Structure 1
Amino acid sequence: MASWNIKGQYMETCNCTLLCPCIWSNLTARPTEGACDAAVALRIDQGSKDGVKLDGLAFVVMLHSPGAMAQGNLTVGLIVDEAANDQQVDAIRAIATGEAGGPMAALAPLVGKVAGIEKRPIKFTQKGLAISLTAGELVDQAIEGLESAVKPGEAIVIDNVAHPVNSRLSLAKATRSRFHAFGIDWEDMTGTRNGHFAPFAWQG
Protein backbone atom coordinates (compact mmCIF):
# COMPACT_ATOMS: atom_id res chain seq x y z
CA MET A 1 0.00 0.00 0.00
CA ALA A 2 1.29 3.47 -0.87
CA SER A 3 2.47 5.54 2.11
CA TRP A 4 1.20 8.68 0.42
CA ASN A 5 -1.01 9.89 -2.40
CA ILE A 6 -2.08 13.29 -3.64
CA LYS A 7 -4.26 14.42 -6.51
CA GLY A 8 -5.41 17.76 -7.82
CA GLN A 9 -4.60 20.36 -10.45
CA TYR A 10 -1.27 21.57 -11.82
CA MET A 11 -0.18 24.60 -13.85
CA GLU A 12 3.15 26.12 -14.81
CA THR A 13 4.82 28.80 -16.83
CA CYS A 14 8.41 29.00 -17.98
CA ASN A 15 10.59 31.50 -19.82
CA CYS A 16 10.74 29.47 -23.04
CA THR A 17 8.75 30.59 -26.06
CA LEU A 18 5.88 28.32 -27.11
CA LEU A 19 6.34 25.34 -27.39
CA CYS A 20 8.95 24.60 -24.73
CA PRO A 21 11.63 22.42 -26.39
CA CYS A 22 11.89 20.23 -23.28
CA ILE A 23 8.59 18.69 -24.30
CA TRP A 24 9.44 17.56 -27.83
CA SER A 25 13.10 16.71 -27.07
CA ASN A 26 12.62 14.61 -23.92
CA LEU A 27 14.52 17.28 -21.91
CA THR A 28 17.60 17.21 -24.16
CA ALA A 29 17.16 20.45 -26.15
CA ARG A 30 18.60 23.83 -25.23
CA PRO A 31 15.97 26.15 -23.72
CA THR A 32 14.94 28.96 -26.05
CA GLU A 33 16.65 31.55 -23.79
CA GLY A 34 19.69 29.35 -23.15
CA ALA A 35 18.63 28.70 -19.55
CA CYS A 36 15.23 27.69 -18.23
CA ASP A 37 13.31 29.30 -15.38
CA ALA A 38 10.01 27.70 -14.41
CA ALA A 39 7.39 27.71 -11.67
CA VAL A 40 5.55 24.39 -11.36
CA ALA A 41 2.46 24.84 -9.18
CA LEU A 42 0.29 22.07 -7.74
CA ARG A 43 -2.97 22.40 -5.83
CA ILE A 44 -3.73 19.32 -3.74
CA ASP A 45 -7.48 18.70 -3.76
CA GLN A 46 -7.20 15.42 -1.88
CA GLY A 47 -4.32 13.53 -0.33
CA SER A 48 -2.29 12.51 2.68
CA LYS A 49 1.13 11.22 3.69
CA ASP A 50 1.62 8.86 6.61
CA GLY A 51 -1.68 9.97 8.09
CA VAL A 52 -1.05 13.69 7.59
CA LYS A 53 -3.92 15.18 5.56
CA LEU A 54 -2.89 17.55 2.75
CA ASP A 55 -6.31 18.45 1.30
CA GLY A 56 -6.59 22.04 0.10
CA LEU A 57 -2.88 22.90 0.30
CA ALA A 58 -0.73 24.04 -2.61
CA PHE A 59 2.97 24.23 -3.40
CA VAL A 60 5.23 25.61 -6.09
CA VAL A 61 8.49 24.05 -7.28
CA MET A 62 10.77 26.80 -8.58
CA LEU A 63 13.33 25.56 -11.05
CA HIS A 64 16.39 26.96 -12.83
CA SER A 65 18.26 24.94 -15.43
CA PRO A 66 21.50 26.48 -16.78
CA GLY A 67 21.11 24.55 -20.03
CA ALA A 68 19.24 21.51 -21.31
CA MET A 69 17.43 19.91 -18.39
CA ALA A 70 18.85 16.47 -19.06
CA GLN A 71 22.35 17.85 -18.42
CA GLY A 72 21.43 18.45 -14.79
CA ASN A 73 22.85 20.99 -12.34
CA LEU A 74 19.33 22.26 -11.65
CA THR A 75 18.59 24.71 -8.85
CA VAL A 76 15.30 23.95 -7.13
CA GLY A 77 13.39 25.82 -4.43
CA LEU A 78 10.05 25.04 -2.81
CA ILE A 79 7.24 27.40 -1.84
CA VAL A 80 4.59 25.88 0.45
CA ASP A 81 1.19 27.30 1.34
CA GLU A 82 1.44 29.29 4.57
CA ALA A 83 -1.69 27.49 5.77
CA ALA A 84 0.37 24.29 6.14
CA ASN A 85 1.54 23.27 9.62
CA ASP A 86 5.02 21.87 10.27
CA GLN A 87 3.96 18.26 9.66
CA GLN A 88 2.28 19.19 6.40
CA VAL A 89 5.29 21.22 5.24
CA ASP A 90 7.56 18.25 5.92
CA ALA A 91 5.22 15.89 4.03
CA ILE A 92 5.04 18.23 1.01
CA ARG A 93 8.83 18.74 1.10
CA ALA A 94 9.43 14.97 0.99
CA ILE A 95 7.00 14.57 -1.92
CA ALA A 96 8.19 17.60 -3.90
CA THR A 97 11.89 16.74 -3.60
CA GLY A 98 11.42 13.07 -4.48
CA GLU A 99 12.69 11.99 -1.07
CA ALA A 100 9.44 10.09 -0.55
CA GLY A 101 9.63 8.47 -3.98
CA GLY A 102 7.01 9.07 -6.63
CA PRO A 103 7.32 11.11 -9.84
CA MET A 104 9.74 13.74 -8.52
CA ALA A 105 12.28 11.07 -7.55
CA ALA A 106 13.19 10.71 -11.24
CA LEU A 107 14.12 14.40 -11.36
CA ALA A 108 16.20 14.31 -8.17
CA PRO A 109 19.47 13.10 -9.81
CA LEU A 110 19.42 16.20 -12.03
CA VAL A 111 19.29 18.61 -9.07
CA GLY A 112 22.58 20.27 -8.20
CA LYS A 113 21.32 22.69 -5.56
CA VAL A 114 18.31 22.82 -3.27
CA ALA A 115 17.81 26.53 -2.59
CA GLY A 116 15.45 26.12 0.36
CA ILE A 117 11.82 26.37 1.39
CA GLU A 118 9.63 29.45 1.77
CA LYS A 119 6.05 29.70 3.08
CA ARG A 120 3.68 32.15 1.43
CA PRO A 121 -0.10 32.48 0.94
CA ILE A 122 -0.86 30.61 -2.27
CA LYS A 123 -3.95 31.30 -4.38
CA PHE A 124 -4.72 28.92 -7.25
CA THR A 125 -7.70 29.92 -9.40
CA GLN A 126 -9.15 28.16 -12.44
CA LYS A 127 -12.03 29.28 -14.66
CA GLY A 128 -12.36 27.27 -17.84
CA LEU A 129 -9.10 27.49 -19.74
CA ALA A 130 -7.80 30.41 -17.66
CA ILE A 131 -5.68 29.55 -14.62
CA SER A 132 -3.76 31.87 -12.34
CA LEU A 133 -1.55 31.46 -9.32
CA THR A 134 0.06 33.76 -6.81
CA ALA A 135 2.49 32.79 -4.05
CA GLY A 136 2.90 35.94 -2.00
CA GLU A 137 5.35 38.30 -3.68
CA LEU A 138 7.44 35.40 -5.02
CA VAL A 139 5.32 34.17 -7.95
CA ASP A 140 2.50 35.73 -9.98
CA GLN A 141 1.59 33.76 -13.09
CA ALA A 142 -1.39 33.14 -15.34
CA ILE A 143 -2.03 30.98 -18.37
CA GLU A 144 -4.71 30.57 -21.01
CA GLY A 145 -5.22 27.18 -22.59
CA LEU A 146 -4.87 26.93 -26.36
CA GLU A 147 -8.41 26.01 -27.36
CA SER A 148 -8.98 23.01 -29.58
CA ALA A 149 -10.82 23.50 -32.87
CA VAL A 150 -12.23 19.97 -32.70
CA LYS A 151 -13.27 20.07 -29.02
CA PRO A 152 -14.32 23.66 -28.26
CA GLY A 153 -13.94 24.57 -24.61
CA GLU A 154 -11.06 22.12 -24.20
CA ALA A 155 -7.37 22.76 -24.69
CA ILE A 156 -5.07 21.17 -27.25
CA VAL A 157 -3.13 18.42 -25.48
CA ILE A 158 0.20 16.71 -26.00
CA ASP A 159 0.61 13.11 -24.87
CA ASN A 160 3.36 10.65 -23.89
CA VAL A 161 5.68 13.40 -22.66
CA ALA A 162 8.59 13.12 -20.22
CA HIS A 163 7.17 15.38 -17.52
CA PRO A 164 7.05 14.53 -13.81
CA VAL A 165 3.54 15.88 -13.20
CA ASN A 166 1.66 14.04 -15.95
CA SER A 167 2.52 12.38 -19.27
CA ARG A 168 -0.45 14.21 -20.85
CA LEU A 169 -0.36 18.02 -20.73
CA SER A 170 -2.69 20.72 -21.96
CA LEU A 171 -0.95 23.45 -23.97
CA ALA A 172 -1.25 27.07 -22.88
CA LYS A 173 0.30 30.46 -23.35
CA ALA A 174 1.58 32.37 -20.35
CA THR A 175 -0.37 35.62 -20.17
CA ARG A 176 1.56 36.70 -17.07
CA SER A 177 4.75 35.27 -15.62
CA ARG A 178 6.68 36.84 -12.75
CA PHE A 179 9.22 34.98 -10.58
CA HIS A 180 11.40 36.51 -7.87
CA ALA A 181 12.43 33.62 -5.66
CA PHE A 182 15.61 31.72 -4.78
CA GLY A 183 17.63 33.92 -7.14
CA ILE A 184 15.31 33.05 -10.03
CA ASP A 185 14.11 36.29 -11.60
CA TRP A 186 11.86 36.51 -14.64
CA GLU A 187 9.07 38.80 -15.84
CA ASP A 188 7.05 38.57 -19.04
CA MET A 189 3.57 39.62 -20.12
CA THR A 190 3.87 39.27 -23.90
CA GLY A 191 1.66 36.18 -24.22
CA THR A 192 4.40 34.42 -26.24
CA ARG A 193 5.80 32.20 -23.48
CA ASN A 194 5.09 28.61 -22.61
CA GLY A 195 2.51 27.23 -20.19
CA HIS A 196 0.96 23.87 -19.33
CA PHE A 197 -1.76 22.50 -17.10
CA ALA A 198 -3.19 19.11 -16.23
CA PRO A 199 -4.82 17.13 -13.46
CA PHE A 200 -2.35 15.03 -11.50
CA ALA A 201 -2.44 11.95 -9.30
CA TRP A 202 0.78 10.97 -7.52
CA GLN A 203 1.62 8.27 -5.05
CA GLY A 204 4.67 6.75 -3.43
Structure 2
Amino acid sequence: MASDQMEAPARPAEQGQVPWAIKGELILNCNCTVFCPCVVSLGKHPPTEGYCQAWAGVRIDEGHFGDTDLSGLNVGLILEIPGLMARGNWKAAAYIDERASEAAYDGLIDIFSGKAKGTTGLFKVLVSEFLGAERAPVIFETEGKTRRLIVGRAIHGEVEPVAGADKDRDIVVTNSEYWMGPDITVATATKGRVRAFGRVWDFDGRSAEICQIDWHGPR
Protein backbone atom coordinates (compact mmCIF):
# COMPACT_ATOMS: atom_id res chain seq x y z
CA MET A 1 0.00 0.00 0.00
CA ALA A 2 1.38 3.38 -0.93
CA SER A 3 2.35 5.67 1.90
CA ASP A 4 1.27 9.30 2.03
CA GLN A 5 3.30 11.87 3.85
CA MET A 6 1.46 12.97 6.96
CA GLU A 7 0.62 16.37 5.56
CA ALA A 8 -2.90 17.66 5.26
CA PRO A 9 -3.87 19.85 2.30
CA ALA A 10 -2.91 23.45 2.90
CA ARG A 11 -5.74 25.35 4.54
CA PRO A 12 -3.99 28.48 5.87
CA ALA A 13 -7.19 30.16 7.01
CA GLU A 14 -8.39 27.08 8.89
CA GLN A 15 -5.37 25.26 10.22
CA GLY A 16 -5.43 25.20 13.99
CA GLN A 17 -8.81 26.95 14.06
CA VAL A 18 -11.25 24.14 13.29
CA PRO A 19 -13.23 22.93 16.33
CA TRP A 20 -12.76 19.22 16.86
CA ALA A 21 -13.49 16.56 19.47
CA ILE A 22 -12.91 12.84 19.99
CA LYS A 23 -14.41 10.61 22.66
CA GLY A 24 -13.56 6.94 22.86
CA GLU A 25 -10.79 4.66 24.06
CA LEU A 26 -7.04 4.43 23.55
CA ILE A 27 -4.86 1.38 24.08
CA LEU A 28 -1.07 1.45 24.03
CA ASN A 29 1.70 -1.12 24.34
CA CYS A 30 5.35 -0.14 24.72
CA ASN A 31 8.69 -1.79 25.33
CA CYS A 32 8.80 -0.94 29.06
CA THR A 33 9.27 -4.10 31.11
CA VAL A 34 6.99 -2.83 33.89
CA PHE A 35 4.17 -0.30 33.86
CA CYS A 36 5.24 2.80 31.94
CA PRO A 37 6.85 5.33 34.34
CA CYS A 38 5.78 8.23 32.09
CA VAL A 39 2.20 7.97 33.37
CA VAL A 40 3.02 8.94 36.96
CA SER A 41 6.25 10.90 36.36
CA LEU A 42 4.65 12.85 33.49
CA GLY A 43 7.69 12.13 31.37
CA LYS A 44 10.29 13.16 33.96
CA HIS A 45 11.45 9.56 34.39
CA PRO A 46 12.92 7.76 31.37
CA PRO A 47 11.32 4.60 29.96
CA THR A 48 12.59 1.41 31.62
CA GLU A 49 14.76 0.62 28.59
CA GLY A 50 16.03 4.20 28.25
CA TYR A 51 13.98 4.75 25.09
CA CYS A 52 10.39 4.15 24.05
CA GLN A 53 8.95 2.14 21.19
CA ALA A 54 5.19 1.82 21.14
CA TRP A 55 2.07 1.11 19.14
CA ALA A 56 -1.34 2.52 19.99
CA GLY A 57 -4.91 2.23 18.84
CA VAL A 58 -7.73 4.76 19.12
CA ARG A 59 -11.40 3.86 18.89
CA ILE A 60 -13.54 6.92 18.17
CA ASP A 61 -17.02 6.44 19.61
CA GLU A 62 -18.05 10.05 19.02
CA GLY A 63 -16.08 12.67 17.16
CA HIS A 64 -16.01 15.46 14.64
CA PHE A 65 -13.59 17.74 12.84
CA GLY A 66 -15.51 20.86 12.01
CA ASP A 67 -18.65 19.58 10.27
CA THR A 68 -17.06 16.23 9.41
CA ASP A 69 -18.22 13.23 11.45
CA LEU A 70 -15.43 11.00 12.81
CA SER A 71 -17.66 8.68 14.85
CA GLY A 72 -17.04 4.96 14.41
CA LEU A 73 -13.55 5.32 12.93
CA ASN A 74 -10.30 3.83 14.27
CA VAL A 75 -6.69 4.98 14.13
CA GLY A 76 -3.42 3.06 14.62
CA LEU A 77 -0.17 4.72 15.65
CA ILE A 78 3.51 3.85 15.90
CA LEU A 79 5.77 5.94 18.15
CA GLU A 80 9.50 6.08 18.85
CA ILE A 81 10.92 8.32 21.59
CA PRO A 82 14.70 8.35 22.11
CA GLY A 83 14.65 9.25 25.82
CA LEU A 84 12.65 11.53 28.07
CA MET A 85 9.31 12.37 26.49
CA ALA A 86 9.63 16.12 26.98
CA ARG A 87 12.93 16.29 25.07
CA GLY A 88 11.13 15.58 21.81
CA ASN A 89 12.74 14.16 18.68
CA TRP A 90 9.91 11.64 18.41
CA LYS A 91 9.20 9.63 15.28
CA ALA A 92 5.62 8.70 14.46
CA ALA A 93 3.44 7.03 11.85
CA ALA A 94 -0.32 6.78 11.53
CA TYR A 95 -2.78 4.33 10.01
CA ILE A 96 -6.12 5.93 9.24
CA ASP A 97 -9.26 3.80 8.97
CA GLU A 98 -9.87 2.96 5.32
CA ARG A 99 -13.57 3.76 5.83
CA ALA A 100 -12.78 7.44 6.46
CA SER A 101 -13.99 9.97 3.91
CA GLU A 102 -11.42 12.30 2.37
CA ALA A 103 -12.49 15.07 4.76
CA ALA A 104 -12.30 12.71 7.76
CA TYR A 105 -8.89 11.43 6.65
CA ASP A 106 -7.52 14.97 6.37
CA GLY A 107 -9.04 15.95 9.72
CA LEU A 108 -7.56 12.94 11.52
CA ILE A 109 -4.13 13.68 10.09
CA ASP A 110 -4.42 17.27 11.33
CA ILE A 111 -5.41 15.97 14.79
CA PHE A 112 -2.72 13.31 15.11
CA SER A 113 0.04 15.50 13.66
CA GLY A 114 -0.78 18.22 16.20
CA LYS A 115 -1.72 20.76 13.54
CA ALA A 116 -5.28 20.92 14.86
CA LYS A 117 -3.92 22.09 18.26
CA GLY A 118 -5.79 21.23 21.44
CA THR A 119 -5.14 17.97 23.30
CA THR A 120 -2.81 16.53 20.65
CA GLY A 121 -1.11 19.84 19.85
CA LEU A 122 2.01 18.65 21.69
CA PHE A 123 2.69 16.27 18.78
CA LYS A 124 3.57 19.24 16.56
CA VAL A 125 6.26 20.23 19.06
CA LEU A 126 7.58 16.82 20.07
CA VAL A 127 7.47 14.84 16.80
CA SER A 128 10.44 15.70 14.60
CA GLU A 129 9.78 13.10 11.88
CA PHE A 130 6.58 11.59 10.54
CA LEU A 131 7.40 8.28 8.92
CA GLY A 132 4.16 8.41 6.98
CA ALA A 133 0.40 7.99 7.02
CA GLU A 134 -1.57 5.27 5.29
CA ARG A 135 -5.17 4.25 4.81
CA ALA A 136 -5.58 0.76 6.19
CA PRO A 137 -8.14 -1.64 7.63
CA VAL A 138 -7.89 -0.65 11.32
CA ILE A 139 -9.80 -3.07 13.55
CA PHE A 140 -10.34 -2.26 17.23
CA GLU A 141 -12.16 -5.04 19.08
CA THR A 142 -13.27 -5.52 22.67
CA GLU A 143 -13.91 -8.99 24.05
CA GLY A 144 -14.63 -9.00 27.77
CA LYS A 145 -11.74 -7.02 29.25
CA THR A 146 -9.44 -7.76 26.32
CA ARG A 147 -8.81 -5.08 23.69
CA ARG A 148 -7.43 -6.02 20.29
CA LEU A 149 -5.93 -3.86 17.53
CA ILE A 150 -5.27 -5.26 14.07
CA VAL A 151 -3.89 -3.04 11.32
CA GLY A 152 -3.39 -5.20 8.24
CA ARG A 153 -0.02 -6.90 8.58
CA ALA A 154 1.51 -3.88 10.35
CA ILE A 155 0.17 -4.15 13.92
CA HIS A 156 -1.24 -7.15 15.76
CA GLY A 157 -1.82 -6.12 19.36
CA GLU A 158 -3.86 -7.38 22.28
CA VAL A 159 -3.91 -5.94 25.80
CA GLU A 160 -5.75 -6.75 28.99
CA PRO A 161 -5.86 -5.23 32.48
CA VAL A 162 -3.42 -6.54 35.08
CA ALA A 163 -5.33 -8.57 37.69
CA GLY A 164 -5.78 -7.00 41.11
CA ALA A 165 -6.71 -8.45 44.50
CA ASP A 166 -10.37 -7.90 43.61
CA LYS A 167 -10.73 -9.64 40.26
CA ASP A 168 -13.79 -7.57 39.40
CA ARG A 169 -11.94 -4.25 39.68
CA ASP A 170 -9.12 -3.03 37.43
CA ILE A 171 -5.95 -1.44 38.79
CA VAL A 172 -6.29 2.21 37.77
CA VAL A 173 -4.04 5.24 38.15
CA THR A 174 -6.61 7.94 38.83
CA ASN A 175 -6.65 11.74 38.98
CA SER A 176 -3.37 12.03 37.05
CA GLU A 177 -2.26 14.92 34.86
CA TYR A 178 -1.23 12.54 32.09
CA TRP A 179 -1.98 14.14 28.73
CA MET A 180 -4.05 11.21 27.42
CA GLY A 181 -6.52 11.31 30.30
CA PRO A 182 -6.67 11.38 34.10
CA ASP A 183 -7.49 7.69 34.61
CA ILE A 184 -5.16 5.04 33.17
CA THR A 185 -5.86 1.32 33.56
CA VAL A 186 -2.69 -0.67 34.23
CA ALA A 187 -2.50 -3.38 31.60
CA THR A 188 -0.16 -5.81 29.87
CA ALA A 189 0.13 -7.02 26.30
CA THR A 190 -0.71 -10.60 25.50
CA LYS A 191 0.37 -9.77 21.96
CA GLY A 192 2.30 -6.73 20.75
CA ARG A 193 3.77 -7.16 17.29
CA VAL A 194 4.73 -4.49 14.78
CA ARG A 195 6.03 -5.07 11.26
CA ALA A 196 6.05 -1.65 9.65
CA PHE A 197 8.32 1.11 8.36
CA GLY A 198 11.34 -1.14 8.83
CA ARG A 199 10.45 -1.83 12.46
CA VAL A 200 10.15 -5.39 13.77
CA TRP A 201 8.93 -5.28 17.37
CA ASP A 202 7.61 -7.95 19.73
CA PHE A 203 6.35 -6.54 23.03
CA ASP A 204 4.34 -9.52 24.27
CA GLY A 205 4.13 -9.40 28.07
CA ARG A 206 5.26 -5.79 28.34
CA SER A 207 3.62 -2.63 29.62
CA ALA A 208 0.25 -1.54 28.30
CA GLU A 209 -2.31 1.15 29.06
CA ILE A 210 -6.05 1.53 28.56
CA CYS A 211 -7.52 5.01 28.70
CA GLN A 212 -10.91 6.56 28.09
CA ILE A 213 -10.25 9.69 26.05
CA ASP A 214 -12.09 12.98 25.76
CA TRP A 215 -9.93 15.15 23.53
CA HIS A 216 -10.76 18.41 21.84
CA GLY A 217 -9.30 21.49 20.16
CA PRO A 218 -8.12 23.94 19.12
CA ARG A 219 -8.03 24.99 22.79
Both structures adopt the same fold (TM-score exceeding 0.5): yes
Deviations 1:140-176 (A, max 9, x none): 11111023334x4231111244533212100101111
Aligned to 1:158: 173
Question: Separation in 1 of the partners of 2:193 and 2:36?
Answer: 17
Question: Separation in 2 of the partners of 1:8 and 1:167?
Answer: 14
- Return the offset for 1:117: 0.3
Indicate which of 186, 190, 195 corresponds to 2:201. Answer: 186
Unaligned 5+ segments in structure 2 are 1-17
Indicate which of 133, 136, 149 corresponds to 2:152. Answer: 136
Deviations 1:96-128 (A, max 9, x none): 122111211124311111111011101111123
Identity over aligned residues, as a percent? Answer: 33
Question: Separation in 2 of the partners of 1:88 and 1:110?
Answer: 24
Question: Separation in 2 of the partners of 1:163 and 1:114?
Answer: 23
- Could you say what secondary structure the match of 2:31 adopts? strand
- Return the offset for 1:33: 2.2
Question: Separation in 1 of the partners of 2:176 and 2:89?
Answer: 21
Question: Separation in 2 of the partners of 1:95 and 1:104?
Answer: 6
In the alignment, residue 116 of structure 1 is paired with which amino acid?
G
| CA RMSD after TM alignment | 1.8
- Return the offset for 1:93: 0.7
- Could you say what secondary structure the match of 1:17 adopts? coil
Indicate which of 85, 101, 104 corresponds to 2:117. Answer: 101
Aligned to 1:64: 80
Indicate which of 34, 38, 41 corresponds to 2:57. Answer: 41
Q: Is the 8 A contact 2:112 2:123 kept in 1?
A: no
Question: Separation in 2 of the partners of 1:107 and 1:118?
Answer: 18
Aligned to 1:12: 28
Question: Separation in 2 of the partners of 1:87 and 1:123?
Answer: 20
Aligned to 1:21: 37
- Return the offset for 1:92: 0.6
Q: Structure 1 residues 139, 163: closer, same or farther in 2, change over 3 A? A: farther
Q: Is the 8 A contact 1:128 1:153 kept in 2?
A: no
Question: Separation in 2 of the partners of 1:25 and 1:165?
Answer: 14
- Return the offset for 1:41: 1.1
Question: Separation in 2 of the partners of 1:159 and 1:181?
Answer: 33
> How many residues were matched structurally?
201
Question: Separation in 1 of the partners of 2:56 and 2:182?
Answer: 15
- Return the offset for 1:14: 0.6
Indicate which of 146, 152, 162 corresponds to 1:146. Answer: 162
Question: Separation in 2 of the partners of 1:108 and 1:159?
Answer: 27
Unaligned 5+ segments in structure 1 are none
Deviations 1:2-45 (A, max 9, x none): 71111111111111112112223221222222321111211111
Aligned to 2:209: 196
The range that moved more, 30-39 or 50-59, is 30-39
Instruction: Tell me the TM-score normalized by structure 1.
Output: 0.91
Are residue 123 (structure 1) and residue 136 (structure 2) matched?
Answer: no
In the alignment, residue 171 of structure 2 is paired with which amino acid?
I
